[in-house]
């Protein structure tokens, strides 16, 4: 299933995209797409519905983040071998973990705002993983059983804040609007292999990133297993799994960063597209 949340004058409502690409409303069957609705039994009940019986959503959809009430927003750095090469970094021995503030989360097509003092805001298309079952100490072999679904994430990053404000990467990763998520939450049964997905990011119509999850250093299963050794993973936790090459920081002969008026367009095979206009705060 391709599930989503959308904004109306009355508030956020849940929906799904049917097999023909038609958006349909789920509000008669579900209050919202939140951690409670990601449990396997709830998803199975939604999958059993006849999409043709659901009301069609007319007009343009204003996508909200595809999961509400996110628990932890976890992110993995330097997780593509070709991205590590472009920024001159050694391959990590273990997944590099940082946190993004939940207050950075916005919808797939919402405005991205440059924070005051920003001089080096960058784009990063990433595969997002949404956890559907609580678990700890999970093996690699069991790890994908925890996944409720996958989504597109733009891990927007202010590199000067990230590298030079002293402390953790979180400072450059957590600014307001720096976490567009969606448009859809695509349930795990529709993603045959999370290590075989193409990712792209265009800025102002120019292809900046083009990669595949096949070049991840640590697979989705390995990431989930590793994190579960450190903390309990809960339904509604979101993991951003790293970015392929082509970020602004890695451009030669000099870096390219976002400015007001720029437009980012991101896509992951089967998971939908994002489009964000950049504005100054």
pLDDT in tens, the chain (281 residues): 999 999 999 999 999 999 999 999 999 999 999 999 999 999 999 999 999 999 999 999 999 999 999 999 999 999 998 888 887 778 899 999 999 999 999 999 999 999 999 999 999 999 999 999 999 999 999 999 999 999 999 999 999 999 888 878 899 999 999 999 999 999 999 999 999 999 999 999 999 999 999 999 999 999 999 999 999 999 999 999 999 999 999 998 999 999 999 999 999 999 999 999 999 99
Give the per-residue pLDDT at 91: 87
Count of C-beta atoms within a 10 Å radius of residue 132: 26
Spatial separation of the C-alpha atoms in residues 150 and 11, rounded to whole Å: 24
Give the per-residue pLDDT at 87: 78
We find that the CATH architecture of domain 73-280 is Alpha-Beta Complex (3.90)
Sign of torsion over alpha carbons 240, 131, 62, 211: positive
Count of C-beta atoms within a 10 Å radius of residue 183: 26
User: What is the residue whose two structure tokens read 């950075």?
Assistant: 104
Contact 185, 66 (CB under 8 A): yes
Going from the C-alpha of 110 to that of each of 143, 151, 235, 280, the distances in angstroms are: 32, 16, 25, 14
Edge to edge, the sheet with strand 272-280 lists 112-114, 272-280, 263-268, 198-203, 206-212
pTM of the model: 0.96
Contacts of 26 (CB under 8 A, 6+ apart): 3, 13, 14, 15, 16, 46, 54
Transcribe 102-156 into DSSP letters. Answer: GGGEE-TTSPEEEPTT-S-EE--EEEEEEE-S-BSS--HHHHGGGEEEEEEEE--
Give the per-residue pLDDT at 168: 81
Sign of torsion over alpha carbons 162, 81, 186, 20: positive
């Amino acid at each position: 299933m391709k599930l989503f949340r959308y904004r109306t004058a009355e508030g956020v409502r849940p929906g799904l995209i049917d097999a023909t690409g038609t958006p349909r409303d789920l509000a008669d069957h579900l209050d919202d797409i939140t951690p409670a609705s990601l449990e396997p039994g709830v998803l199975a009940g939604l999958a059993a519905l006849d999409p043709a019986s659901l009301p069609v959503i007319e007009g343009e959809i204003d996508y909200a983040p595809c999961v509400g009430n996110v628990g932890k927003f976890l992110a993995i750095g330097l997780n593509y071998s070709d991205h590590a090469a472009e920024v001159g970094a050694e391959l990590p021995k273990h997944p590099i973990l940082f946190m993004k503030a939940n207050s950075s989360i916005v919808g797939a097509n919402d405005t991205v705002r440059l924070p005051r003092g920003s001089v080096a805001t960058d784009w990063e298309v990433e595969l997002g993983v949404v956890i559907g079952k609580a678990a700890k100490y999970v093996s690699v072999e069991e790890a994908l059983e925890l996944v409720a679904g996958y989504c597109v994430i733009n891990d927007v990053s202010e590199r000067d804040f990230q590298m030079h404000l002293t402390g953790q990467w979180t400072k450059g990763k957590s600014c307001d609007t720096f976490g567009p998520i969606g448009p859809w939450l695509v349930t795990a049964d529709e993603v045959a292999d999370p290590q075989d997905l193409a990712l792209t990011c265009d800025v102002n119509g120019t292809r900046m990133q083009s990669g595949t999850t096949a070049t991840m250093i640590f697979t989705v299963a390995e990431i989930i297993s590793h994190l579960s050794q450190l903390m309990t993973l809960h339904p509604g936790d979101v993991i951003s799994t790293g970015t392929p090459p082509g970020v602004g920081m890695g451009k030669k002969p000099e870096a390219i960063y976002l400015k007001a008026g720029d437009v980012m367009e991101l896509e992951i095979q089967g998971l939908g597209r994002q489009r964000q206009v950049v504005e100054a705060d």
